[in-house]
Amino acid sequence: MNTRYKQLENDFSLAIESIVVNKVDLMSATILSVSGSFEASEEERKLLCLLSDGRLLIASGQALNAHVQSYRARLERLKRSFTIVYCAIEVIGRLYRSGNDNIVRHQEHTVMQVTAKDLLARGCRERASDIHIRVNKLGTDFYFRIYNDLIKVGSQTRDYGERLLATIYGAMTAVSDNSYKPTERQDASIGDRDKLPDMLYGVRIATTPTSQGNLMVLRLLYNDAGDHIDLRPLGFSEEHTRLIQVLKDQPIGINIISGPTGSGKSTTLQRVLSGELIESQGKMHVITVEDPVEYPIPGAVQTAVTNATNEVERSRLFSAAISNAMRLDPDTIMIGEIRDGASAQSALRAAMTGHQVWSTVHANSAVAIIDRLVDLGLPLAMTADHTIITGLISQRLVKLLCPHCRRHLATCENELSIEQTERLHKAVGNNLAKVYLTGNGCKACGGKGTIGRTVVAEVILPDADLCTFLRNSDKVGATAYWRTMLGGQTLIEHAISKIADGLIDPRMAEQTVGHLIPLDQRTKSATFTKRA
């Protein structure tokens, strides 16, 4: 009988061993008997193992061992509940060994999280828009993008960089699959407040493998982006602000802001929508569809498209989120970006069904937004309809000169090339005496010579005549009509006006908007008689 019982016990222990080996996950169930209140002695750890999920693993045949009985009695005194599971003694040994490895990994992740948060805090102090971490064959380089300049701020070993990337993606991001895959392109975001410096609302992350290693870029989303609702401090002119107010007052139609990455489109959108909510005294229902949520808009219902594993899935979820938003009784829908045909069609449908829509797209100019929408698959007859597409805005950012150390052009005109000088003379004419170049830096600007960036923009409110030009694919005629009949101002013309006011360096302006040649000097376009 005893032999038979012993055999059954052995068989049962072997069965339990296979369950334990296959199901004990030390990433979710940690070992409590290695330290703290439930720490087991060296002799006890040979025979038992207490897990955080309440299981007390006991070596088969050792239930009556004095060390096991003593440990059980201590757990009962501490009122720690547990469930006994018998397993082979080898399983317990393996768990303690793997548990130690896991503790080391956890401690390393913790240290690296502190390092990552310090890096983010340093980026905030420098007012960086992005942080680049480049892991290459020989080491790891760190860069901050500050006012559009990429500045190297430090280096480390390759191993250090690899561990930092794995920690940022694996332990700090809010994605369903947070396993870092160095050989794949991945996107994620950090939104947990305890993982971010106080100045940040969130961080958007993109990774990609390179020929020499890996690149991770972190876009920093600041808390203070929506402290104001006035567009003029951003650099928009009085006329721009007036036109955008007209767009805000229209209850239907889609208004689209274009510009490259980092041109301030999201900040403009945030101020526009925050202004709408304040002006309506909270009586408007504003819903956003973003990937991910970038900046807080007080009073708006902000929704994020998450858990997409690839671009096709992301496109499907984004389009579905827009369709869902239309069923939630919105007055205004903000779509973070029109990035594909599905989101473009959903945005157009929302504008055609009685909603005001705001969104962004990548295009070279305000007029070129129409071409971009057609390229995404929308019919020209609808995109060139002023009752549907009600506003076209394009913007860029140019560095703003420090007023304390800027240098008058007359004292350093030789720094410009002959061609630059000729273009500048033609562009500003009699205002040449008001032109300034970047200074050498001072205490006020921290030695940079610039104090942030300012918007140069163009804003179009299409009418029926303008749309006729667009439907006929006559962009030159459309632009000429907009400038003469509607009083429009191009990006280049807005930049020239800021150069003439001594606000921006003409060289920096040309790096952003191109050569300072007004449109009427570039092409012989149609002319119109100004309306009375």
| pLDDT 10s digits, 296-347 | 888 999 998 766 666 777 788 888 888 899 999 999 999 999 988 888 999 9
Q: Which two tokens stand for residue 392?
A: 């076209």
Question: What Cα–Cα distance (Å) separates residue 232 from each residue in 210, 229, 287, 455?
Answer: 41, 9, 25, 9
d(C-alpha 496, C-alpha 504), whole Å? 9
Q: What share of the chain is helix, strand, coil (3-state, %, to 5)?
A: 45, 20, 35
Q: Which residues of 235-268 are buried (b: 16+ CB within 10 A; e: fewer)?
A: bbbeebeebbeebbeeeebbbbbbbeeebbbbbb
Question: Global pTM?
Answer: 0.73
Cβ contacts of residue 146 below 8 Å, gap of 6+?
A: 126, 127, 128, 129
Q: Provide the pLDDT for residue 51.
A: 87
> pLDDT value at position 61?
87
* Residue type for position 10: N
DSSP string for 49-86: EEBTTSEEEEETT-TT-HHHHHHHHHHHHTT---EEEE
Q: What angle do CA 350, 352, 356 make, to 5 degrees?
A: 60
| DSSP character string of 371-427 | HHHHHTT--HHHHT-TTTEEEEEEEEEEEEEPTTT-EEGGGTGGGS-HHHHHHHHHH
Instruction: Say what the pLDDT of residue 277 is.
Output: 93
Q: Which residues of the chain have pLDDT under 70?
A: 1-28, 99-110, 175-178, 225-227, 306-310, 519-532
Peptide bond into 518 cis (omega under 30): no
Structure confidence at residue 529 (pLDDT): 46
Question: Which strand ranges, in their side-by-side order, compose the sheet holding 214-222?
Answer: 149-156, 140-146, 130-135, 214-222, 200-209, 186-190
CA angle at 126 for the pair 123 and 131, rounded to the nearest 5°: 35
Domains of the chain as residue ranges with CATH: 2-87 (no CATH), 104-223 (3.30.450.90), 228-522 (3.40.50.300)
Among all chains, which residue has been given the structure tokens 């106080």?
198
Q: What is the pLDDT of residue 521?
A: 64
| CA atoms of 179 and 90, how far apart (whole Å) | 30
SS3 118: helix
Q: Do residues 345 and 316 lie in contact, with contact meaning Cβ atoms separated by under 8 Å?
A: no
Q: Nearest to residue 261, comparing CAs of 128, 362, 381, 181?
A: 362
The rounded radius of gyration (Å) of the Cα atoms in the chain is 31
The pair of structure tokens assigned to 42 is: 């060296």
Burial tier of 527 (Cβ tally within 10 Å: 0-12, 13-18, 19+): exposed
